[in-house]
């Protein structure tokens, strides 16, 4: 089966500036795909082009076999989009917002009620349908946006930073809905996020930097390729420990009172230290994280606050 999203040699220029430079990637149907990148990397440009909002400069972008440039309305009926900034009408109720969207998508009147029930059930908001959007919490509003994005039964749901600005508990809830959509409805989810722990639970992650995809794989494969477990050792006999590590070709960095060894052969390191226990007051092994993957590939932290 062909991938549901196929991007080949996509380039987008703003005047002379190349915002996205010849990128290619596929997304499998029914998967959760994360687009990760620092500010200005080209994420919004790519998402907006896939959603038929921006025009490409060159390349080919297909969703469910339909061309985002030549078959805009077919693509629009295949996708749902949830933007970072709310586009709900705060003066209307949840139900009214959803009804308006049904009109927008030409959904037959006889189907409207069934669809509203269906999407509200998906995001646990059936009891709240008569509430004004203005009276809802940030997390509830995001759930309404997701419900609205699903009302025309799209095959692909685009979510731009779906959990940004939400507290950790609400973020976890939103993720429950995202995973439910993927598992129970086989909806393909394409999202951008700057939370590493979120990228880590996706099926595939593409890391984009400076308009170029610099890595694209499963989170497991990326971690395996780009991170190493590290050992943090503290000692009362610095000279002896340094001599020991040097003798065994174990590169170390001395920092804040401990020695950090990036142990490619962790077993070997532990073996050496087990013979020389007297040099070690404490040893801690830390597994590589997705933050390390990002730092290793792009040379930068994703956001200053992370
Ligand atoms: N309309 C425009 N005109 C000129 N340059 C633009 C325009 N829109 C975006 N850019 C530039 O293109 C590059 C990619 O921008 P884009 O918004 O796609 O990045 P992003 O990865 O989504 O970043 P963020 O996380 O900040 O939203 C940036 O350098 C940006 O300044």
- Give me the CATH topology for the region 3-88+134-217: Rossmann fold (3.40.50)
ipTM over 0.85: yes
Give residue for tokens 């006999």: 237
Residue 220 vs residues 35, 228, 302: alpha-carbon distances, Å:
16, 13, 19
- Measuring from atom 26 of ligand 1, which residue has the nearest CA? 39
Residue 112 tokens, joined: 């409207």
Mean per-residue pLDDT of the chain = 90
The Cα–Cα gap between 207 and 293 comes to: 10
The Cα–Cα gap between 162 and 170 comes to: 11
- Positions of CATH 3.40.50.300 in the chain: 3-88+134-217
Mean pLDDT calculated for residue range 196-221: 92
The Cα–Cα gap between 81 and 240 comes to: 60
Asked if residues 190 and 5 have their Cβ atoms less than 8 Å apart, the reply is: yes
- pLDDT for residue 60: 98
- Cα(283) to ligand 1 centroid in Å equals 44
Asked if residues 213 and 41 have their Cβ atoms less than 8 Å apart, the reply is: no
Residue 119 banded pLDDT, cuts 50, 70, 90: very high
Mean pLDDT calculated for residue range 260-266: 75
CATH code of domain 227-286: 3.30.70.1150
- Cα(151) to ligand 1 centroid in Å equals 29
What pTM does this model have? 0.83
Give percent of the chain above pLDDT 70: 97
- pLDDT for residue 306: 45
Mean pLDDT calculated for residue range 99-111: 92
Task: State yes or no: pLDDT of 304 exceeds 70.
Answer: no
- Positions of CATH 3.30.70.1150 in the chain: 227-286
Which residues, judged by CB distance below 6 Å to any ligand atom, belong to the binding site of ligand 1?
Answer: 14, 17, 19, 37, 39-45
- pLDDT for residue 263: 63
- Cα(32) to ligand 1 centroid in Å equals 24
The Cα–Cα gap between 144 and 274 comes to: 57
The Cα–Cα gap between 213 and 206 comes to: 7
- pLDDT for residue 265: 64
Closest Cα partner for 95 from 118, 128, 124? 128
């Amino acid at each position: 089966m062909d991938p549901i999203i196929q991007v080949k040699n996509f380039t987008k220029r703003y005047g002379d500036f190349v915002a996205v430079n010849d990128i290619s990637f596929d997304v499998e149907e029914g998967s959760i795909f994360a687009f990760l990148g620092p500010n200005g990397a080209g994420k919004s440009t790519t998402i907006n082009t896939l959603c038929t909002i921006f025009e490409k400069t060159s390349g080919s972008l297909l969703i469910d076999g339909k061309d985002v440039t030549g078959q805009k309305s077919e693509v629009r009926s295949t996708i749902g989009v949830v933007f970072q900034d709310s586009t709900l009408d705060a003066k209307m109720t949840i139900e009214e917002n959803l009804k308006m969207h049904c009109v927008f998508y030409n959904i037959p009147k006889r189907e409207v009620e069934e669809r509203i029930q269906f999407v509200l059930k998906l995001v646990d908001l059936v009891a709240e349908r008569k509430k004004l959007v203005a009276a809802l919490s940030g997390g509830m509003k995001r759930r309404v946006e997701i419900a609205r994005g699903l009302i025309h039964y799209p095959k692909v749901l685009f979510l731009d930073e779906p959990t940004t600005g939400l507290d950790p508990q609400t973020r976890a809830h939103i993720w429950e809905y995202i995973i439910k959509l993927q598992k129970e409805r086989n909806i393909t989810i394409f999202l951008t996020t700057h939370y590493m722990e979120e990228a880590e639970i996706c099926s595939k992650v593409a890391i984009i930097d400076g308009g170029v995809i610099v890595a694209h794989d499963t989170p497991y494969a990326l971690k395996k390729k780009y991170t190493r477990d590290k050992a943090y050792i503290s000692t009362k006999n610095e000279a002896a420990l340094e001599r020991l590590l040097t003798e065994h070709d174990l590169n170390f960095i001395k920092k804040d009172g401990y020695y950090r060894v990036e142990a490619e052969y962790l077993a070997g390191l532990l073996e050496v230290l087990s013979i020389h226990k007297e040099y070690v007051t404490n040893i801690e092994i830390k597994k590589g994280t997705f933050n390390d993957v990002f730092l290793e590939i792009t040379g930068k932290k994703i956001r200053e606050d992370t």
